[in-house]
Structure 1
């Protein structure tokens, strides 16, 4: 970590968020083997019984969040060329983390020519750019870091998304999650303010529906209404994940179980929810067994 951007409140909040994101990612990823029997999987989640696997590995959600946090720690802001290279290096080091098709196309090109990220990002998906949930899944620590300035949160989240997600929906998803994490870090997470600061988009429309959805709604029903990430789009992923976080703003464990009940792209929805809630709570109240099973983050070999 750079001494110029040391142990301030923003850095501490970002680290809490990163821990929660990685935990949610690894927690959610454990459910995929059970999806072969959806009824059993749903019964296991409803009963709050974890799969028996000893090791919970995180995926590309965490790998890309780590790259983003490294750039923020070094420069105190998003520098897009440097971020493009950080993402590319992470992919090159371990491409089997579950990256999507678009990133497998984009990131090797960025490794060779990171300065051409605007061109390469726009070329994805027939020239429309990616509207996927990848920019949203990694961005919560950025929102936590800039929690004292929501305008800067929006601006920096936008810059972080553009490197890989040129489509406005991909950007909107990142802005929404970053704003939610910033609000969470200050103890005032609310869906209405997230909606207000999210750019006009299908993602914002979904968040507006989420704002009108009572927290008494069963999570599976909320996922049916809002989407659960099954389509891998920002607008199909972010509203439910943010709703789950707002439903349990002070309880990371409850928030993750709620999100898991929605199934779908469950590692990504849980990563988003975990990153938002943990910006406030951290992971200290999480069962010790969860932290023991979760793959440690770099530099934390002694704490799983």
Structure 2
């Protein structure tokens, strides 16, 4: 049992490292208006170091530390851990609604009342539950159905809307399938997406994935982003189909996955975090340029994430 937990943690960490790198890489492309982002992107010229990570990584780190400790999602504990991490470091680019959610949970309100009461009782359909969840899918790399169920629970601690939950499920299943098939030839993009769809509940996210799966092979990133959305609305349904379309087309090439994903512009730290978390669940990060890994802000040890001493196991 301990050997299996250790293996799950290793695969999860592989995905986490990709997610953090993608987050930091993508965030660097929010350029000043006078800079030629398109030209720099076309020339494959990465942004100067350092590359700090954002709330995408901050929440993924909490989720991974939680799984490393418990082996499953315990909703009450996870919600408190998200709130505690936010209180320690609130300036990571959290969305406006998430500031309020995490503060209220940190002040003692029950997460379910907070999240279900948001947006007139509908809950948030933002992309925050999806952006952090790829490593959870990698943790359950041999059990995509379990990955879907656990992603659902992890989403509800902050996002009660069906679309947010569906987005988290889709990303987790994609990472599970990518990691679970690491020793096999990568499937065609459409086939991979159709396998993900099997686990995703009826939703706009699912519909977007069906559209993405039907795109011709030569579909450009610009066209995909214009049809699917690339996170400009910060919603799950506007983010997840594009990010998974991009990941599915580059399952063996994390570097190219990042270049293509950021080229959709939109919410580029989040789309890159999602795509990289999925691809790295299969490939790890060894194939990206060493300068990228050196530019990226380091990942803290699990103990520090949980609020313990640096180096706590």
Q: Indicate whether the TM-score tops 0.5.
A: yes
1:50 aligns with 2:46: yes
Shift of 1:6: 4.0
Do the aligned partners of residues 4 and 147 (structure 1) sit closer, same or farther apart at CA in structure 2, a change above 3 Å counting? closer
The equivalent residue for 2:9 is: 11
The aligned runs of 1:206-245 (5 Å cut-off) are 206-245=208-247
For 1:67 and 1:265, locate their aligned partners in 2 and report how far apart those are by CA, in whole Å.
Answer: 21
1:120 aligns with 2:114: yes
Distance 1:73 1:226 in 2: 34
Q: Hey, what's the Cα distance between the residues in 1 that align with 2:31 and 2:120?
A: 32
Deviation at 1:4, TM superposition (A): 8.5
Deviations 1:37-70 (A, max 9, x none): 47x1112112111122x21000000000011011
Q: TM-score, normalised by structure 1?
A: 0.93
Shift of 1:225: 0.8
Give the conservation status (yes or no) of the 8 Å contact 2:145–2:173.
no
| CA distances 1:6-57 after superposition (whole Å, capped 9, x unpaired) | 422x2211000000000000000000024x147x1112112111122x2100
Matched residue count: 295
Take 2:217 and 2:135, find their aligned partners in 1: how far apart are those partners? 25
Is residue 5–residue 71 contact of structure 2 (8 Å, CA) maintained in 1? Answer: no
Q: Report if aligned partners of 1:184, 1:279 keep a CA contact under 8 Å in 2.
A: yes
Q: CA RMSD in A?
A: 1.7
Offset at residue 214 of structure 1 (A): 2.4
Aligned with residue 267 of structure 1, among 266, 269, 284: 269
Q: Deviations over 1:134-182 (max 9, x none)?
A: 0000000000001111211111000000000100000000000000000
| Structure 1 contact 172–198 (Cα < 8 Å) conserved | yes
Partner Cα distance (1:186, 1:147) in 2: 5
- Tell me by how many angstroms 1:73 deviates: 0.8
Matches within 5 A, 1:127-146: 127-146=121-140
Q: Give unmatched runs, 5+ long, in structure 1.
A: none
- TM-score for both structures, normalised by structure 2: 0.91
The structure where helix makes up a greater share of residues is 1
1:163 to 144, 157, 160: 157
Classify the secondary structure of the residue corresponding to 1:31: coil
The answer to whether the Cα contact below 8 Å between 1:21 and 1:271 also exists between their aligned partners in 2 is yes
Cα separation, 1, equivalents of 2:203 and 2:5: 36
Q: CA deviation at 1:247?
A: 0.6
